[in-house]
Copies of this chain bind each other. A is one copy, B any other.
Amino acid sequence: MRILIADCTVIYTGRGDTKLKHAKRLIMLKKDGTIAIHHDKGVKPLNYMSGGGTFIETLKSDGSTVWVVENRKENLTIHITQVWSDTETDVDENNSELIRDGTEKQLQEWLTVNPEALGEGFTVIGKEVITGAGAVDILALNRNSEPVAVEVKRTAMLGAVDQASRYVEALKTQEGYENITGMVAALDVRPNTIKLAEKRNIAWVQIEGYTPSPS
């Protein structure tokens, strides 16, 4: 990983158009070609570009340097007028993956083993079922053996109800799913979300009893 502290201006064009005025910043150049420009605030870089493109360095007659990183659709140009420090360090590439717990995926797995958390008499008959307008997290049968499209979330907001509605709408036209209903199942369901769900006749459950596996 190469770390530069430098005075620079930056122009990005691609998915949007952005620029940075001349200032002293940190420039990170990673082994995979990722480049990121940071200031002294916040988690996210000011400007950046993912690896995989071409990298061209040009030395100008006035002593400044221009870096151009480019791929099919994007261009990041950094004009460096003064370098305060430039260091190259190796960091580990192995053993460095993030281990997550309590993700939505794990919540989904847990619900398939504990379907009663969705409601009495529920059974799970499918996961990530393609509908033509996105995949339903869980397809279940309620106590009356009627199909239910369940959208699982850690925190459910308005979009979760939209998703559940969309899956019901898409599946309703399919053989055997004429009377399918929707449900939002989450550790936390927000008040406004509950209101929207009830207006749409989308059921909702606050999931009880789930705990991330202890480390």
Binding site for B on A (CB under 8 A): 1, 3, 5, 11, 16-26, 28, 30-32, 34, 36, 38-48, 50-51, 84-85, 87, 89-103, 133-134, 154, 158-159, 162-163, 165-166, 169, 192, 196, 199, 212, 215
Contacts and interface: CB of A to CB of B under 8 A. Distances in A.
Oligomeric state, in copies: 2
B159 A159 contact: yes
A26 B92 contact: no
Which 10 interchain pairs have the tightest Cβ spacing? A162-B162, A23-B92, A17-B101, A39-B96, A31-B40, A23-B95, A24-B92, A32-B41, A23-B96, A21-B95
A32 B44 CA distance: 13
B46 A50 contact: no
Nearest to A33: B41
Contact of A89 (B26, B41, B97): B26
Contacts of A24: 90-92
B41 A31 contact: yes
Given A30-B40, A30-B41, A43-B48, A17 B92 contact: no
Contacts of A11: 215
Contacts of A40: 1, 30-32, 90-91, 93
Given A102-B17, A133-B192, A85 B89 contact: yes
Contact of A91 (B5, B17, B100): B5
Nearest to A11: B215
Given A24-B91, A85-B89, A92-B25, A133 B39 contact: no
A2 to B, nearest CB: 10
13 contacts: A5-B89, A11-B215, A16-B102, A16-B154, A17-B100, A23-B94, A24-B91, A32-B40, A32-B41, A39-B91, A42-B50, A42-B51, A133-B192
